[in-house]
Amino acid sequence: MTPLGKNRFANACDGTAAIEFALVSPLIFISVLGILETGLALYDQSRVSAACTAGARQILIHGASDEDAIETAVKSKFKASELSDLSIAMRTETISGEDFKEITVTYSHDTMVAITDRLDSIDLKTTCYGRGV
């Protein structure tokens, strides 16, 4: 004969779903947050690349002498509130005897959750070359 208390708790299944959810839900939440963060970073990287391409297109159409026009073309791909996180560097470079304008666009993508001080933002950088100096 088994004691009444041992048999009652050995076969009880009440609350197992809540315990399993408590164990698995943080992993699911972190995975979804990671997917969202990766998607936003890839979207911002695409915008940085498009902005750099707009600067190179400006060089091809109007020439490379007007750096203000090139910078305006790059900045037009971002909202006014995002311009503080944007950095544009330009220099003339000679490749195989031809002059090119190098445009480097850097954007500081702020992460949704700052895990550490080092991971509160990610610098996204793209370099384009425009011929027509």
Strands 121-131 and 98-110: antiparallel
Neighbours of 126 (CB within 10 A): 19
Residue 3 clears pLDDT 60, i.e. is over it = no
Cα–Cα dist 113/4, whole Å: 51
pLDDT digits (tens, 9 = 90+) for 18-38: 889 999 999 999 999 989 999
Mean pLDDT of 29-52: 93
Cα–Cα dist 42/126, whole Å: 13
Q: Residue 17: pLDDT band by 50, 70, 90 thresholds? A: confident
Provide the pLDDT for residue 8: 65
Residue 49 clears pLDDT 70, i.e. is over it = yes
pLDDT digits (tens, 9 = 90+) for 85-106: 999 999 988 888 888 889 999 9
